[in-house]
Amino acid sequence: MNKFIPLIFLICSFEVLSDETQIDFNNDAYPFSSEAHEVLFYSLLNELRCPKCQSSNLAGSNSPISNDLKREVYELVISGNTSKQIKSHLVQRYGNFIIYNPPLEPATYALWFGPFLLILLALLVISFVRKR
Amino acid sequence: MIPEIGHIILISHLVLSFIGGTLPLVAVYTKSKYFYIPVKKLSVFLFMLILMSFMILVYSFLVDDFSVAYVSQNSNINLPTYYKFAATWGAHEGSLLLWILAMNAWLIGFIFFNNSKDEDYTSTVFSIACQVMFAFSLFTLFTSNPFERILPIPPLNGADLNPSLQDIAFTVHPPLLYFGYSGLLIPFAIAVAAMLFRKDIKEWAGNSRPWTLMSCSFLTMGIALGSWWAYYELGWGGWWFWDPVENAAFVPWLLSVALFHSLIASESRGVFAKWSILLSIFAFATSLLGTFLVRSGILTSVHAFALDPERGLFILGILAFFIIGSLLIYSIKDLENQPTHSYELSSKEFGFLLNNLLLVILAVSILFGTIFPLIYEAITDGKQISVGAPYFEIILFPFALALGLLQGVGLYLSWGSSSSFKFLPRLIIESISIFALVLIILFILFDNLYLTSFATIFLFSWILMGTLQISKKRNLNYWSFLRKRAAVTFAHLGMAILTLGVAVVSSYSLEKEIIMAPDDSIEFGNQTILFKNTEEIMGPNYFSKSATISFSDGSNSYDVLTEKRTYIPSGQLTTEAGIKTELFQDLYISMGDNLEANIWSFKVQIKPFIRWIWLGALLVAIGSLLAGIKRVRRV
Amino acid sequence: MKKVFDILPLAIFIVLLVVLFSFLSEKDDQLETALVDSSFPEFSLFALSDDTKILSKKDISQLPALINVWATWCIACRVEHPFLMKLKNESTLAIYGLNYKDNRMKALALLERDGDPYEFSIFDFEGRLAIDLGVYGAPETFFVDKDGVIRVRHVGVVDEKVWENKFAKYLDE
């Protein structure tokens, strides 16, 4: 069923948008009017997780839910949403599980600051040991 | 009948490794000749046993003996013969047999090529290794027996090998990786024996160094092959996903690199004695941990084996026994009897210290990030989170930067006293020149410069010039100089090339999802892509719908085939990508969905310099193997 | 001081072991819903039974209710179906269906043949309401309380046991 979606989309958007914007089709499954939008779209596909797959991002999955989510992301991108807004939209629905970049919150402080604290700690220990 | 023989041989291996794991230790401690056993002969015998057992399993695959449960789960009559051979390690049970085989191979290598005259010490190393092999044999026989039978009515055909494993890379990636993982057994056993015997640091470090280097080499090759395979097999075009199982192999790699650098300092200068011991223990621990993570089911991954908590528990038990045991010895034994030289901050020793610090903390961070989702779920009472590529890349970057800068100057440093830093201005100028040269070449090739790649490209230049050391004053001529240091030159050069590959592919890649009907063509990058036609292909155990695509850059055109395969026994679908490999880029296309009639969606990508990543890794592996082999003969 | 450094690796490792051991014991493959305690989302989709009738949130009027995501391609849904029929007959709880990415004719035929436990089914061909609900497969079942707030979501078949453990308590409120 969802494999039809890019095609239906392509045909529909061609009819709706071709007079208003200069989208150059080139057989794009996901046509964009600006390169910035295109870059944003594909980078988001790499950062978002397929909720149903064992371990895969949207870019690497052709499962129905992934295709649906790609369409959702596409529509959000061409409506002018920012990366933050799009991720927040999806997190609202699927939880933090769906983004591969964990949020910065008290529960993840250890994750984000850990490595650098460890380096600091190690340097302190070394200088302490050297003094002796 | 034959599988039973394999089973019995495995049991004999169990018994003998128990004997090998206990008697020599008793003999050493009681100094009684009564318990003496010939270690060399026993190691050969053990190896022969496991080899036979393994070959019997292979044989069962090759003759389609579906009465063996493991064969029926992982093979099929129509499976091509070379895949039947590789299917031996296609799932949990068989891969364990491979692990044990690999451990035995390393042990024989150590016993025969180790020149230590201290027999007590050698027997102890042997014993500890036997204990580990015993634990694995026990695990295999009790929870994961590959020789279990389906009787009295064996199935007529098997379920088939997982289609994504039916690939050439699968015949080499697991064996290389397992040899890498299991090789860390020897440095571990040496470290424990060194503790028990209060061995001189320079001696045991020299003993351990070649084995660490060689294990690292195999790990490098195994990981690189895994990356290459994922790239062309999964259709996504990525080469590293920070998947838990990938990380489980990367962490021991990082630690083994840290270890052999530490051993260099330990052997030459007698420093880092306790640290080298600790690192030897933890390198092996993370190797076992990797095995645990992959097979216990606590982490979801494209790779995970049988999801079985009972097996996970057993592996955790093995981990606990050996690591707690060795760390207990570490805490109890007084190891502080070695006088150490002091060293300046500008010395080679300190350089190795920083190297180890960075590598180990990076390894710990990656390990932590990998299991963090589980920790998060526990502390937030059920909420779920994902920790993936974006996080790991952000963390990796500063570490890679620091390590790369260190690597560039490392070879200029001298032991002990302050090194002269006169080389620095020259190095900077050389690096900037190469950096500029690379940018010019990239601009000519790809018409673009990306700021995001600058730091990493500079790192490449820095490491390159720091390794080649063109301007360093020497007594020999340059080529003799390089020949003497062939191993380290290869290895560091490999890292440089790998870095360049990563830099370019990360910033210069292009991708797009497209829809085409036959005879459609599009412009993409500097290529014209033409969808020529589709075809139905019949393979030995699959049928496929294939699309012939031609890539042309104006002067030449080249056809690739991308397929959607349906494997007959399992009904599983795979996508095979069509790839054209050029010197400076890969052209990559994979089939998506059949939308209507002959209209298909595709994902097309251009991946510049991606092969340089694996080329670099190959050089690293060659360099470390060379270093290991040279040192075995010397010791 | 030295002794502390000597025991530290052992201590750290034991902690790691305990942590790993605890992970082995708990195993829940479900994605917890992010929509707990938020209102059921707005939507505007056709009804399964009538392709000219547009349904929206206000049509889910009998609250509390179960929203069950189902499809003809979903084999587990067939397993769940008898229990839903039982629920419909034995309790006052309304069950609404969300027909997910399905073929209309097949879906109607299935309800005709096996029975229809739903007040009505929403025809979500493109899976849009499903995305707004954080659905990633079928069957899934949501409990919506008397104020239209989602309280719990179950992924997988709802049977007697799941009902007792997960849903029953919300009925009593």
- CB within 8 Å: C125 and A95: no
Strand pairing of C121-124 and C94-100?
parallel
| 3-state SS assignment for residue B10 | helix
Q: Using an 8 Å CB-CB cutoff, list chain A residues near C132.
A: 93
Instruction: Identify the closest residue of chain C to A52 by CA–CA distance.
Output: C136
Q: Is residue C47 part of a domain?
A: yes
pLDDT band at A14 (very low <50, low <70, confident <90, very high): very low
Residues of chain B with pLDDT under 70: 297, 300-307, 336-340, 473, 633-635
- CB within 8 Å: C13 and B383: no
| Residue length of chain C | 173
DSSP symbols for C71-107: -TT-HHHHHHHHHHHHHHHHSS-EEEEEEES--HHHH
Question: Structurally, how many domains does chain B consist of?
Answer: 2
- CB within 8 Å: C27 and B327: no
Instruction: Identify the closest residue of chain B to A53 by CA–CA distance.
Output: B302
Report yes or no: B337 at the C interface, CB cutoff 8 Å: no
User: Which residue bears the tokens 């991002």?
Assistant: A57
Q: Using an 8 Å CB-CB cutoff, list chain C residues near B278.
A: 9
- Nearest by CB to C136, from A1, A52, A72: name it: A52
B-to-C residue pairs, Cβ atoms closer than 8 angstroms: 55
Which chains does chain C touch, 3 or more C-beta pairs < 8 A? A, B
Task: Among B129, B161, B193, identify where a domain stops.
Answer: B161
Residues 6+ apart with CB under 8 A from C56: C42, C43, C44
Q: How many CB atoms lie within 10 A of CB B231?
A: 24
- C-alpha dihedral (A65, A70, A71, A73), degrees to nearest 10: 120
Report yes or no: A6 at the C interface, CB cutoff 8 Å: no
- B217 vs B214: CA distance, rounded Å: 5
* Mean pLDDT in residue range A9-22: 43
Q: Is residue B62 part of a domain?
A: yes
| 3-state SS assignment for residue B309 | helix
What sign has the CA pseudo-torsion A87, A92, A97, A102?
positive
Give me chain C's average pLDDT, please.
90
Q: Using an 8 Å CB-CB cutoff, list chain C residues near B374.
A: 23
User: Is residue B301 within 8 Å of B294, Cβ to Cβ?
Assistant: yes
The predicted structure's pLDDT at residue A18: 40
Is domain A4-101 annotated with CATH 3.40.50.300?
no
User: Is residue B529 within 8 Å of B549, Cβ to Cβ?
Assistant: yes
Instruction: Identify the closest residue of chain B to C22 by CA–CA distance.
Output: B378
| Beta-bridge partner residues of B599 | B596
What's the token pair of residue A99? 């983004």
Query: What percent of chain C is helix, strand and coil (3-state, nearest 5)?
Result: 40, 20, 40
User: Is residue B432 within 8 Å of B594, Cβ to Cβ?
Assistant: no
* Environment class of B205 (CB within 10 Å of its CB; exposed 0-12, middle 13-18, buried 19+): buried
> DSSP letter at A80?
T
For the CA atoms of chain A, what is the radius of gyration? 21
Question: Structurally, how many domains does chain C consist of?
Answer: 1
Q: Using alpha carbons, select from A96, A55, A49 the residue that is nearest to residue A69.
A: A49
* Mean pLDDT in residue range C3-12: 87
Give how far the C-alpha of residue B223 lies from the chain's centroid of Cα atoms, to the nearest Å.
3
What sign has the CA pseudo-torsion A20, A26, A28, A34?
negative
Q: Using an 8 Å CB-CB cutoff, list chain A residues near C133.
A: 93
Instruction: Identify the closest residue of chain B to A1 by CA–CA distance.
Output: B595
Report yes or no: A69 at the C interface, CB cutoff 8 Å: yes
Q: Is residue B571 part of a domain?
A: yes
Residue C54's domain comprises 32-171
Task: Among B136, B161, B186, identify where a domain stops.
Answer: B161
Strand order in the sheet with B510-516: B510-516, B599-608, B585-596, B578-581
Nearest chain C Cα distance for residue A89, angstroms: 9
Per-residue exposure over B160-192, b if at least 16 CB sit within 10 Å of its own CB, e if not: bbbbbbbbebbeebbbbbbbbbbbbbbbbbbbb
Q: Is residue C1 part of a domain?
A: no
Instruction: Identify the closest residue of chain A to B593 by CA–CA distance.
Output: A3
Task: Report which residue type is found at B628.
Answer: G
Task: Report which residue type is found at B46.
Answer: L
Q: Using an 8 Å CB-CB cutoff, list chain A residues near C134.
A: 51, 93-95
- CB within 8 Å: B365 and A27: no
- B165 vs B95: CA distance, rounded Å: 14
Cα B432–B437–B440 angle (5° rounding)? 125
What's the token pair of residue B513? 């999802």
**Best A68, A69, A89, A98 residue to mutate vs chain C (most C CBs within 10 Å):** A68
Report yes or no: A51 at the C interface, CB cutoff 8 Å: yes
Task: Report which residue type is found at B167.
Answer: D
Which chains does chain B touch, 3 or more C-beta pairs < 8 A? A, C
The predicted structure's pLDDT at residue C23: 83
| Beta-bridge partner residues of B574 | B565
Report yes or no: A97 at the B interface, CB cutoff 8 Å: yes
- CB within 8 Å: C101 and A69: no
Q: Is residue B129 part of a domain?
A: yes
- A90 vs A70: CA distance, rounded Å: 11
Instruction: Identify the closest residue of chain A to C125 by CA–CA distance.
Output: A1
Residue range B65-88, pLDDT digits in tens: 999 999 999 999 989 999 999 999
What's the token pair of residue B226? 């895994």
**Best A30, A111, A128 residue to mutate vs chain B (most B CBs within 10 Å):** A111
- CB within 8 Å: B522 and A27: yes
- CB within 8 Å: C10 and B324: yes
- B601 vs B513: CA distance, rounded Å: 7
Q: Using an 8 Å CB-CB cutoff, list chain C residues near A64.
A: 101, 127
Report yes or no: A2 at the C interface, CB cutoff 8 Å: yes
> DSSP letter at B624?
H
Nearest chain B Cα distance for residue A40, angstroms: 12
* Mean pLDDT in residue range C58-85: 94
> DSSP letter at B531?
E
DSSP symbols for B591-620: EEEEEETTEEEEEEEEEETHHHHHHHHHHH
Report yes or no: A17 at the C interface, CB cutoff 8 Å: no
Instruction: Identify the closest residue of chain C to A1 by CA–CA distance.
Output: C101
- CB within 8 Å: B374 and C23: yes
pLDDT band at A15 (very low <50, low <70, confident <90, very high): very low
What's the token pair of residue B256? 């083994």
Instruction: Identify the closest residue of chain B to A41 by CA–CA distance.
Output: B512
Nearest chain C Cα distance for residue A18, angstroms: 24
Task: Among B161, B183, B217, identify where a domain stops.
Answer: B161
Q: Is residue B394 part of a domain?
A: no
* Mean pLDDT in residue range A13-28: 48
First-to-last CA distance in chain A? 71
> Measured between alpha carbons, how far is residue B289 from residues B181, B247, B250, B319, B325 in Å?
10, 11, 12, 7, 16
| 3-state SS assignment for residue B87 | helix
| 3-state SS assignment for residue C69 | strand
CATH of the domain at C91: 3.40.30.10
What's the token pair of residue B8? 């019995």
| 3-state SS assignment for residue B433 | helix
Report yes or no: A99 at the B interface, CB cutoff 8 Å: yes
Q: Using alpha carbons, select from B223, B305, B210, B302 the residue that is nearest to residue B260.
A: B210
Residue B82's domain comprises 1-161
The predicted structure's pLDDT at residue B478: 84
- CB within 8 Å: C134 and A93: yes
- CB within 8 Å: C13 and B285: yes
Give how far the C-alpha of residue B15 lies from the chain's centroid of Cα atoms, to the nearest Å.
31
Report yes or no: C126 at the A interface, CB cutoff 8 Å: yes
